[in-house]
Amino acid sequence: MSDLPKCPQCGSAYTYDDGALYVCPECAHEWAKGAAAPAGPGERVWTDAHGNVLQDGDTVTIIKDLKVKGSSSVVKVGTKVKNIRLADGDHDIDCKIPGFGAMGLKSEFVKKV
**What local confidence, expressed as pLDDT, does residue 1 receive?**
45
Q: Given pLDDT bands bounded at 50, 70 and 90, which one contains residue 79? A: very high
**What is the Cα–Cα distance from 41 to 26, expressed in whole angstroms?**
20
Number of H helices, E strands in the chain: 0, 11
**What is the Cα–Cα distance from 47 to 67, expressed in whole angstroms?**
22
**What local confidence, expressed as pLDDT, does residue 105 receive?**
94
In total, the chain counts a number of residues equal to: 113
Q: What is the mean pLDDT of residues 104-111?
A: 94
- Give the pLDDT confidence of 11-51 residue by residue, as tens digits: 888 888 888 888 888 888 888 877 655 555 567 888 999 98
For 107, phi then psi, to 5°, come to -65, -20
